[in-house]
Structures are given as structure tokens and as C-alpha cells.
């Protein structure tokens, strides 16, 4: 993919979990935060799997204070009200299991990439392991975008 970004039919992004964390009120890398300035040009999608994974990560650092829980709840509401839902389908499950059997053991990542591929979306991710795995095995590489690929 060119550094100039992608356009046309490729303007639909499924956000990887890392891109949901700031919406839920939690800091992440500068690379992800810089990408947020460009997301307004795209049709954004989320997966319930990413919300679950984000909650697993958040629970490691929150104390359970009412303000923290309220911030997370507001973030989930914002995600659901401003983005489109990308559900898991049979094709995505089949592809994700295939990826697992090929050696990529992160089933959430496998499902997210497979959902993106089956629905004609691009998974916006900073996960170099996933990108490299897909590239090495010729799997849906055209369904992945890194922040630097955004126009």
C-alpha cells in the first residue's frame, strides 16, 4: 500500500482494539493517537471482540472507581453510537481457525482480520506480528492497514 493512503472502496476501517482504548479513556501510543486525526475521513467499524479485549486490558489498571467505570461506559456508548458494528460470521470463523492452525495463536486478532476480509473492510492495526504473519502466509494482506497508510 502506498504511503499516500487509500481511497474509494477502501475507506472502511475496522478498528483494532488499540484504537478503541483512547475512546474508553485510556492512553495508548503516539502512533495510534496521531492516526486519530485522520479517522474522520473513513467509515469506522468496531467488533464486540475488541470491546471485550479492551476491557480485559483496562481491568488490569483500573481500581473500579465510579468515575472510571462511568468513563468506560460512556466510551462504549460512544463507540456503538458513532461506528458501525462488524459481527462475526461463518466465513470469518473458518478463516480465523485456519490462521490458528497455521501458527498464529491470537484468536482475537485472527477473528478481527478475518471479519475485515469477509466484509470488505481494512483492519487498522499496529500489530506488526499480525501484519507479518498475514504477509508471510499470503492471508488477506489487502485487508490490513497501518496508521501510516491512512490518507
Task: Determine the Cα–Cα distance for residues 6 and 32; give it in Å rounded to an integer.
Answer: 18
Range of the domain at 120: 9-149
Task: Determine the Cα–Cα distance for residues 111 and 93; give it in Å rounded to an integer.
Answer: 7
- 45 in a structural domain: yes
- 122 in a structural domain: yes
The answer to whether residue 8 scores a pLDDT higher than 90 is: no
Q: What is the CATH number of the domain that holds 71?
A: 3.40.50.1010
Average pLDDT, the chain: 92
Task: Determine the Cα–Cα distance for residues 69 and 113; give it in Å rounded to an integer.
Answer: 29
- Dihedral of CA 118/108/131/8: which sign? positive
Q: pTM to 2 decimals?
A: 0.92
- 138 in a structural domain: yes
Grid coordinates standing for 117? Answer: 476480509
Task: Determine the Cα–Cα distance for residues 142 and 121; give it in Å rounded to an integer.
Answer: 9
Judging by beta carbons within 10 Å of its beta carbon (0-12, 13-18, 19+), is residue 120 exposed, middle or buried?
A: exposed
The answer to whether residue 6 scores a pLDDT higher than 80 is: no
Domain tally for the chain?
A: 1
- 102 in a structural domain: yes
Report whether 45 contacts 145 (CB < 8 A): no
Grid coordinates standing for 40? Answer: 474522520
- 3 in a structural domain: no
Tens-place pLDDT, residues 17-68: 999 999 999 989 999 999 999 999 999 999 999 999 999 999 999 988 889 9
The answer to whether residue 70 scores a pLDDT higher than 80 is: yes
The answer to whether residue 1 scores a pLDDT higher than 80 is: no
- 1 in a structural domain: no
Comparing CA positions, the residue from 5, 74, 9 lying closest to residue 37 is 5
Comparing CA positions, the residue from 55, 48, 39 lying closest to residue 92 is 48
Amino acid at each position: 500500500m502506498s504511503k499516500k493512503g487509500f481511497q474509494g472502496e477502501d475507506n472502511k476501517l475496522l478498528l483494532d482494539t488499540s484504537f478503541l482504548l483512547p475512546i474508553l479513556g485510556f492512553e495508548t501510543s503516539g502512533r495510534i493517537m496521531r492516526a486519530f486525526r485522520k479517522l474522520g475521513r473513513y467509515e469506522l467499524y468496531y467488533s464486540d471482540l475488541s470491546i471485550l479485549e479492551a476491557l480485559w486490558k483496562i481491568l488490569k489498571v483500573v481500581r473500579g472507581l465510579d468515575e472510571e467505570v462511568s468513563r468506560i461506559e460512556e466510551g462504549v456508548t460512544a463507540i456503538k453510537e458513532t461506528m458501525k458494528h462488524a459481527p462475526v460470521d461463518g466465513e470469518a470463523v473458518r478463516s480465523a481457525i485456519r490462521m490458528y492452525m497455521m501458527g498464529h495463536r491470537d484468536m482475537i486478532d485472527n477473528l478481527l482480520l478475518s471479519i475485515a476480509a469477509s466484509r470488505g473492510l481494512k483492519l487498522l492495526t499496529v500489530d506488526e506480528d499480525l501484519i507479518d504473519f498475514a504477509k508471510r502466509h499470503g492471508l488477506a494482506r489487502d485487508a490490513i492497514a497501518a496508521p501510516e497508510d491512512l490518507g
